[in-house]
Structure formats: C-alpha cells, structure tokens
Structure 1
C-alpha cells in the first residue's frame, strides 16, 4: 500500500492521514510493521510518533508527529481534550431525537475480552450526536466525542439502541445490501448472489480541529470512503 494518496495534510511538525478501514493504526504483536499505518509512515519518513489511534475497522483521520517536541505537544492536546473530534456514522434505524448527548461511563466487559460496556462503574464518557439524514432503515449521524474511551461511539450507539451499521461486536454483522434499500430489486441475469454495498463498520473519523504549537488553527477533513458514500447515494435515491 502506498502512503502518499492517504496524506491529507503535512507540515514540519505533523502529518494527517486518511486511514482505510481494516488497517491497524500501529502494529500489534503478531503483525508485520508494514501492515499498519505507523509502519507505512516510518518507511516513508524514517521516524514517526503515534499521537492517537483509531480502531482497525474505523476509517478516517489520524495525526502522527514528526519529531519528539511535536509528539509531546500533540499528545498533551489530545489528552487535555483540546482537540475537537468529529465522526460520521451510519446507524441502524431512526433515532427518536434529532440531536442529543450520551453521558454514560464505559468499562471493560467483565467476561468478553476486548469488548467494552456502558456501566456506572466505568470511566466517564461523553458523546454528542446530530442526525444529518434519516432513511428509515438507517440514519447518517454526526458524532463528537469529548472523551477518548475504547470503542466509545460504538458502545454509546448500542446504549441508545441504534448501533453502528455492520458492527459485529455491538450490533449485527449483517452487511448493507441494495435489496434492503431498493423496493423492486432484482439480481442481474448472470448473478447468482448479491454483493453487499457495505460489509464493514460504517464509522469514519472525518474532522479534527485544533491549534498547533505555532498558534495556527487547523480544521482537517477526510472525505468519506467510497463504500459508505455508495450506500448514502442509494439511500438518497430510494428514500420514500
């Protein structure tokens, strides 16, 4: 995979990258370094410093520092919640309110490893949401997270009863199919089975806003990936 087409913005201090879904932010113990975003960046720049992460299945904006001083500054910025983080997600169903906040602490699941759960004993977690478009079966929601808990958006959307679409862990692994969206859907003459429009987590980190060490304000945006965009086009086209 080439890193150049993924770069959204860079200067002498940091680089912002549009991470594809399915790619790790940093390698885990079993993975070869080049199977992660940080590994690809290290190959390109020589050295790179990880500031924050996205889940493997979430696509979108990730910022990496280019030197130690920038790493220290940006890491503190993210930890002190001085970065505005916005996501776009497709969720199952229609939310009863056009906007709202989920203020529900999150902790590790007592039994299932790697899974999180909303629980009063957990660490504070706050997510704001606004419904951008509602389609009945699905809704496009803009989300802002004020805290950075593991799987925060996914847990909070499940908590609301509208999990992120194609979320195997917190909702259902059922992919998005055109036959569910289009009323008079028919398979093509030579097609035996329908290919899903989307078969991965429908969550994208689309915007970061922050002020850098030089006092320059940044508003970085990563365009929606083709697969989520294709689903939205079909939903708009066949909206009742």
Structure 2
C-alpha cells in the first residue's frame, strides 16, 4: 500500500509500506441550528466543513533496525509540516487528491527486529478533487443536457461563455431552476467566466482579468450541481455566443 504526498509516492521510498487505515466521510461537519418557537422543533440554519483527516499506518523495514530508523528519517523528511501544505492522494491511485494537506501531529515509532511502525495523521481541505474532471460544452446558443457522475456531494461549477456582445447586449444562462442574465461587453478574444467554486465572476483575456462581472449580473446566488441529476443548460443571447463550457468542479467528501 502507498499514498502520494506532494507528488512523491511512498512506494518509491525503500522499505516503506504505508496505507490509509482511517478516512472519514463528513469529517469536521458542523450543523448550525436554531430553536423554532411554538412548534417544538429546530431549524437547520446551515452546515459547514473546514478540514478532513486521514490516518496512515506506516511500517518501515531494513536489513537492521538501524537501517529501518534511517529510512524512517527519510519518511519524516518527506512529511515534515515545515515544508508547507501539499496535495495528498490517500489511496495512491492518481484519481483523487485532497489539497492543502499537512501532517497534524507527531509520529511515534515502535521498533522490533528490523522493523519500525507508526501512525501518520494528516489534515487536508474538506473535499477531494479529481485528477481529471467532467465538463460539457456546446457551440453557440441553445440547450444541452448533462448529468454529473463523479464525486459524492454537490459541486460549484464554472461556466465559461465565449462570443461577441456590445455593452447593451446580454446573455442569459439557465441551469435547471437557476437563471442569470449578464450584460456585455465581450469581444471574441475574451471569455466570461462564472466561477462559483471560488465565487469569482469576471471577463478574462487569456490570463488577464479585464473586468468584474458582478455589476452586470442579475443573480449572485450560487449554482450547485448534484450527482445523478440530469440538468439542462440553456443559453440565449441578444448578441452572438460561439461556445459555452461547463466545468463540474466535482468534489468528494
């Protein structure tokens, strides 16, 4: 067994066998509730998660106990929190990574014969991200239907719109029950990007942010996509739309 941390697979470390033995769902979940007067019930005000945790069993072998301890030193250097947060692939599969992972406590090695073993506990961002995510696109205005299949919780997608709009023209994006109308201008060299994951709405020219879209949008509520739910994306415009791209930003908890 192995895990990948900061791009380094523990399987490549001599004598190291490291596998995840505890991994949570909904770790760090906090539910905010308030009393509902008169009906003897409580109302859920919201839920939040700040971090998640993974526990790894690490066993290191050597020709002698001294060599095993030397290899433990190499492992400790890899996971040293002084090096900052890094991506963690807890299963070593290359499919999902948890960002901002860091060792959250000491490792206590226990030795016998030519082996040492201990537990390494990491805390990371609450949601894993896929190495390769889902996306859907169409050319021009119109509609398309899509269904998310990756992850196990809601996703906050990114919607990108390319085309040509004057300052007086608009584009209207509808996904399920969500509708947003956005005013131009937009040139053929630019893209309108509605990034609901990072709550950033702007016009971009390559890697340069040209203008904020917030004053031009009819709606600032978030757009959420759930797995195994069919959504219809509809795009209408008083200008010209050449391409619409939806990136899922899938998440696993």
Which structure has greater strand proportion? 2
TM-score (normalised: structure 2) = 0.23
TM-score (normalised: structure 1) = 0.24
Answer with 1 or 2: which has the greater Rg.
2
Which structure has greater helix proportion? 1
